A and B are shown apart, each in its own frame.
Chain A
Amino acid sequence: MESITPILEFKKTCVSYTKQTMAVKYVSAAIEKNSITAIMGPSGCGKSTLLRAVNLMHNLYSNIRVDGEILLNGENILSMEPIDVRRRVGMVFQRPTPFPTMSIYDNVLAGFALNGIRLSKVEKDATVERCLKSVALWDEVKDVLNKKGTFLSGGQQQRLCIARALAMKPDVLLMDEPTSALDPIATKHIEELLLELQKEVTILIVTHNMGQAMRISSKSMFMYLGELVEYGDTAKMFSEPADERTKAYLTGKMG
Chain B
Amino acid sequence: METFKLKKRLAKDKLMLWGVCLFATLTAVPLVAILGEVFLRGYDQLSWSFFTEPTPTAYKAMKAIEAGEPIPGGIANGIVGTMLMLGMATIVAVPIGILCGVYLAENSKSRFAQIVSYLTDLLQGTPSVIIGIVIYIWVVVPMKGYSAIAGSVALFVMMLPLIIRSTEETLKILPASLKEAGLALGGNEARVMLRVQLPAAFGGVFTGVLLAISRVIGETAPLMFTALGCSLIRWSIDKPISAVPLLIWEFFNDPNLQDLIWGASLFLLLFILMLNILAKYIKGTLY
* Pair from one complex: yes
- Residues of A with Cβ closer than 8 Å to B? 55, 57, 60, 62, 82-84, 86-87, 90-91, 93, 95, 97, 99-102, 110-111, 113-116, 161, 164-165, 168
Task: Assess whether A60 is in contact with B186, with CB atoms less than 8 Å apart.
Answer: no
Q: Interface stretch among B47-55, B62-70, B116-124, B188-196?
A: B188-196
Q: Given the complex, which residues of A lie within 8 Å of B24, measured CB to CB?
A: none
**CB contact between A101 and one of B187, B191, B287 (< 8 Å): that residue:** B287
Task: Assess whether B185 is in contact with A165, with CB atoms less than 8 Å apart.
Answer: yes
Task: Assess whether A110 is in contact with B183, with CB atoms less than 8 Å apart.
Answer: no
**CB contact between A87 and one of B109, B180, B186, B200 (< 8 Å): that residue:** B186
Instruction: Judge if B92 is at the interface, Cβ distance under 8 Å.
Output: no
Given contacts A110-B195, A114-B191, A114-B195, whether A97 and B178 have CB atoms under 8 Å apart is yes
Task: Assess whether B183 is in contact with A99, with CB atoms less than 8 Å apart.
Answer: no
Instruction: Judge if B27 is at the interface, Cβ distance under 8 Å.
Output: no
Task: Assess whether B185 is in contact with A101, with CB atoms less than 8 Å apart.
Answer: no
Q: Given the complex, which residues of B lie within 8 Å of A101, measured CB to CB?
A: 196, 199-200, 202, 287
Task: Assess whether B186 is in contact with A95, with CB atoms less than 8 Å apart.
Answer: no
Report how far A99 CA is from B287 CA in the complex, Å: 11
Q: Given the complex, which residues of A lie within 8 Å of B180, measured CB to CB?
A: 57, 60, 91, 93, 97
Please name the residue on chain B nearest to A97 by beta carbon: B181
Nearest first, the 8 closest Cβ-Cβ pairs linking A and B are A114-B187, A87-B186, A97-B181, A101-B199, A91-B184, A111-B185, A86-B186, A100-B287
Q: Given the complex, which residues of A lie within 8 Å of B87, measured CB to CB?
A: none
Q: Mark B152-180, 1 if CB is under 8 A from A, else 0.
A: 00000000000000000000000101111
Task: Assess whether B183 is in contact with A60, with CB atoms less than 8 Å apart.
Answer: yes
Task: Assess whether A86 is in contact with B200, with CB atoms less than 8 Å apart.
Answer: no
Q: How far is the CB of A61 from chain B (nearest CB, A)?
A: 10
Please name the residue on chain B nearest to A114 by beta carbon: B187
Instruction: Judge if B182 is at the interface, Cβ distance under 8 Å.
Output: yes
Task: Assess whether A99 is in contact with B191, with CB atoms less than 8 Å apart.
Answer: no
Q: Given the complex, which residues of A lie within 8 Å of B177, measured CB to CB?
A: 93, 95, 97
Q: Given the complex, which residues of B lie within 8 Å of A91, measured CB to CB?
A: 180-181, 184
Report how far A62 CA is from B107 CA in the complex, Å: 11
18 A-B residue pairs with Cβ-Cβ distance under 8 Å, sorted by A, are A55-B184, A60-B183, A83-B186, A83-B187, A84-B186, A87-B185, A87-B186, A93-B177, A93-B181, A95-B177, A99-B181, A101-B200, A110-B185, A114-B187, A116-B191, A161-B181, A168-B185, A168-B186
Task: Assess whether B184 is in contact with A99, with CB atoms less than 8 Å apart.
Answer: no
Q: Given the complex, which residues of A lie within 8 Å of B184, measured CB to CB?
A: 55, 57, 86, 90-91, 93, 165
Report how far A110 CA is from B16 CA in the complex, Å: 54
Task: Assess whether A57 is in contact with B183, with CB atoms less than 8 Å apart.
Answer: yes
Task: Assess whether A115 is in contact with B187, with CB atoms less than 8 Å apart.
Answer: yes
Task: Assess whether B196 is in contact with A99, with CB atoms less than 8 Å apart.
Answer: yes
Most buried by A among B177, B179, B186, B188: B186
**CB contact between A115 and one of B178, B185, B199 (< 8 Å): that residue:** B185
Q: How far is the CB of A95 from chain B (nearest CB, A)?
A: 6
Please name the residue on chain B nearest to A95 by beta carbon: B177
Q: Given the complex, which residues of B lie within 8 Å of A165, measured CB to CB?
A: 184-185
Task: Assess whether B187 is in contact with A99, with CB atoms less than 8 Å apart.
Answer: no
Q: Given the complex, which residues of A lie within 8 Å of B187, measured CB to CB?
A: 83, 111, 113-115
Report how far A99 CA is from B195 CA in the complex, Å: 9
Q: How far is the CB of A77 from chain B (nearest CB, A)?
A: 13
Q: Given the complex, which residues of A lie within 8 Å of B186, measured CB to CB?
A: 83-84, 86-87, 111, 114-115, 168
Q: Given the complex, which residues of A lie within 8 Å of B202, measured CB to CB?
A: 101
Q: Given the complex, which residues of A lie within 8 Å of B179, measured CB to CB?
A: 60
Q: How far is the CB of A96 from chain B (nearest CB, A)?
A: 9
Q: Given the complex, which residues of A lie within 8 Å of B191, measured CB to CB?
A: 113-116
Report how far A93 CA is from B191 CA in the complex, Å: 20
Please name the residue on chain B nearest to A150 by beta carbon: B287
Q: How far is the CB of B204 from chain A (nearest CB, A)?
A: 13
Task: Assess whether A114 is in contact with B200, with CB atoms less than 8 Å apart.
Answer: no
Q: How far is the CB of B33 from chain A (nearest CB, A)?
A: 42
Q: Given the complex, which residues of B lie within 8 Å of A116, measured CB to CB?
A: 191
Task: Assess whether B183 is in contact with A90, with CB atoms less than 8 Å apart.
Answer: no
Report how far A86 CA is from B189 CA in the complex, Å: 12
**CB contact between A114 and one of B109, B178, B182, B199 (< 8 Å): that residue:** B182
Report how far A227 CA is from B80 CA in the complex, Å: 70
Please name the residue on chain A nearest to B287 by beta carbon: A100
Q: Given the complex, which residues of B lie within 8 Å of A83, measured CB to CB?
A: 186-188
Q: How far is the CB of B239 from chain A (nearest CB, A)?
A: 43
Q: Given the complex, which residues of B lie within 8 Å of A102, measured CB to CB?
A: 199
Task: Assess whether A99 is in contact with B182, with CB atoms less than 8 Å apart.
Answer: yes
Q: How far is the CB of A54 from chain B (nearest CB, A)?
A: 11
Q: How far is the CB of B116 from chain A (nearest CB, A)?
A: 19
Most buried by B among A95, A97, A115: A97
Task: Assess whether A99 is in contact with B188, with CB atoms less than 8 Å apart.
Answer: no
**CB contact between A86 and one of B175, B178, B183, B195 (< 8 Å): that residue:** B183
Report how far A60 CA is from B285 CA in the complex, Å: 30
